[in-house]
Chain A
Amino acid sequence: MFLEGFGEILANILTVNPELSGISSASSILDTSNYTFHAVTLGKDAEGYNFHAHSVSTVTYEGEDAIQYNNDSVIAINYINSAPYVSSYHPSGTHAEFSATYNSVPQFPAPNHTRLEMNSTKTTNASAFSGTAPDLGHYPNTWVDSSLSNAWTILGGFSPPSSAGKEYFITNSEGRTLASGVLSGMYNQYNLVDKNGYVKVSQVSGLDATLGTTQGAELSGGPVIYSSVNFNASLASVGLAVVPQRGDAVTLAMYGGVNHIGVYCLDIRAMLASGISPPYSWDALNNNSIYKLVSKVTFWDNLLDHEDNGSNSGLESGYNNSFLTNDGPTFTLKFNFL
């Protein structure tokens, strides 16, 4: 769904002063790249930010250090424990377990929305945590936030790279480990996501639909715009592939999955008003971009639903070690401009 924010971007485009082309210090404002899709975010139901792997485990690591929530590992309890979810994480188990207090329905989208969930998405479970947990409407990336990183396992939502050696555990409600592994997040490995969970959209053009076979490496630049027989400018349609790869799929699944995807443009007017001038470059650790939500898509179902394959964990074998094309589930957003 296109949102009112997209109308603001279109009005920006139609009214930016073409005479800026003659001013060397300002001409880059007219670069088309400033007005394209620049970021995506992923999210879920608002209340879910205090359930799933956002919960501080009380069963697995007794006596754990409160400064290193869940012993610096991502932990979720699998309340289903029956095939095909024995060593996978299906959020419906948590929904059912806490149904008396937990409304797990994601917010239905509306044109005036400015974030994925309008209600608070602040994780309050980290009671001993001294920092201020974010309330962004979508998943944060607290792993890279120096002020929040000691509670990253509770706040979520993107995985550290494999070089960090951080682990995940799926346990049953008695604390017995059902699946585990070393997290291998690609968005953080390639510095594609900032602390506020904005995942950079690649500005590489000319890609076709064979992402997984010949152009998989292009995903190391972030979600990609690509064309196919169904998506191309001549047909007035645009395809955007969002692929949470390996550990990113694991942690996002463990934090309750993905029910929303948001697409953002740069809010050029706000950035210029704040003294942030083009050319704009991406810096995951010090991202000063101001974004405007222009489109969102919402699903009742969790996009990261997965299950065991026989005795193989859906999380470890399916996602973390990734036997999937493109190294993760590929979500293609189609924008129809006709």
Chain B
Amino acid sequence: MYNFVDQINMKGHLTIHKVLDGQEELVYDEDNVITSGFGWSMSHLYALAGADSITDFQIDRFQIGVSGNNAAQVSSTFELSGPLSSTLEYTGPQDSNLNAFTAKQYKNATSPDAIFSKIPYTKVTRIDDRSVRYTIFIDEDSCNNISRPGSDEAALNEIALFVKNPTGNKIDDTSVMAAYRYFSDIRKTNQFGLVFRWTITFG
């Protein structure tokens, strides 16, 4: 039996461009994994068991991380392997264009705090009847010089999109991973920005 993603022929595609002196250079161009959290979120909508506002079923936030790996590229993945661990890691000390914040993340029946960055609605584009593109711009001042124990120069190499709050948690948004991608290492510095263009197509 086909699973939900296969039934509706749901696909994701991610491109990453490095932006330097106003010029874009394509550094990554691959399909991505739609994780089971997307269908789980939609089941709450269609079971009449979720949030009252449709905006809670929208993808409006992302996480980026430094411990991506191929093994995580399966539909059952519900968290990044090594997400940035503070709002400061997203925004740096000043001038970042990112809006990083703390909210809950649903992880296999638990909902601990997690750090997210907002995807502004202006960066959500309907490409055609069944395709939506999310554009995430990490500017020169964001996500720079990340370090981890044993690695002073950790590279960005994983990213995920999240559904806002499908269960309708009234106290804290509790987000669920909808799509994941591991990508080749990019050591982010203040010398360049990154543009992630993530297109999700339904059939």
- A contacts, CB < 8 Å to B: 1-2, 4, 6-8, 10-11, 13-19, 21, 30-32, 34-37, 111, 203-206, 225, 227, 231-233, 235-238, 335-338
Q: How far is the CB of A336 from chain B (nearest CB, A)?
A: 6
What is the predominant secondary structure among interface residues of chain B facing chain A? mixed
Interface string of B120-141 (1 = CB under 8 A from A): 0100111001111000000000
Let me know if A7 and B130 touch, CB within 8 A.
Answer: yes
In the complex the two chains form, what is the Cα distance from A227 to B48 in whole Å? 10
Inter-chain contact A227/B49, CB cutoff 8 Å:
yes
Listed A/B pairs (8) with beta-carbon separation below 8 Å: A2-B7, A10-B8, A11-B132, A16-B54, A19-B121, A225-B46, A227-B47, A338-B3
Within 8 A of A (CB), among B178-194: none
Q: CA A18 – CA B51 in complex, angstroms? A: 14
Contacts of A14 in B (CB 8 A): 57-59, 124, 132, 200
**Cα separation A13 to B38 with both chains bound (whole Å):** 12
* Residues of the A chain whose Cβ atoms lie less than 8 Å from the Cβ of B50: 32, 233
> A31's contact among B7, B42, B53, B203, by CB below 8 Å, is which?
B53
Whether the pair A7, B52 counts as a contact (CB closer than 8 A) is no
Chain B, Cβ-Cβ closest to A35: B54
Question: At the interface, yes or no: B43 with Cβ under 8 Å from chain A?
Answer: yes
Nearest chain B CB to A236's CB is how many angstroms away?
4
Query: Could you tell me the distance between the alpha carbons of A284 and B172 in the complex, rounded to whole angstroms?
Result: 40
Distance, CA A335 to CA B34, complexed state (A): 18
Q: How far is the CA of A46 from the CA of B15 in the complex (A)?
A: 46
Does B9 touch A at the CB level, under 8 Å?
A: yes
A203 CA / B52 CA spacing, docked (Å): 12
Assess whether A15 is in contact with B132, with CB atoms less than 8 Å apart.
yes
User: Is A236 touching B54 in the complex (CB atoms < 8 A)?
Assistant: no
B52 to chain A: which residues have CB within 8 Å? 31-32
Distance (whole angstroms) from the CB of A273 to the closest CB of chain B: 14
A278 CB to closest chain B CB (Å) equals 11
A7 touches B47 (CB 8 A): no
Is residue B28 within 8 Å, beta carbon to beta carbon, of the partner chain? no
Rounded to whole angstroms, the CA-CA distance of A237 and B52 in the bound complex is: 19
Chain A residues with CB below 8 A from B60, complex form: 18
Contact for A337 among B46, B124, B130, CB less than 8 A: B46
Across-interface contacts of B36 in A (CB, < 8 A): 236, 338
Question: Would you give the 0/1 interface string for B23-64, flagging 1 where the beta carbon is closer than 8 Å to chain A?
Answer: 000000000000010011011111111111111111110000
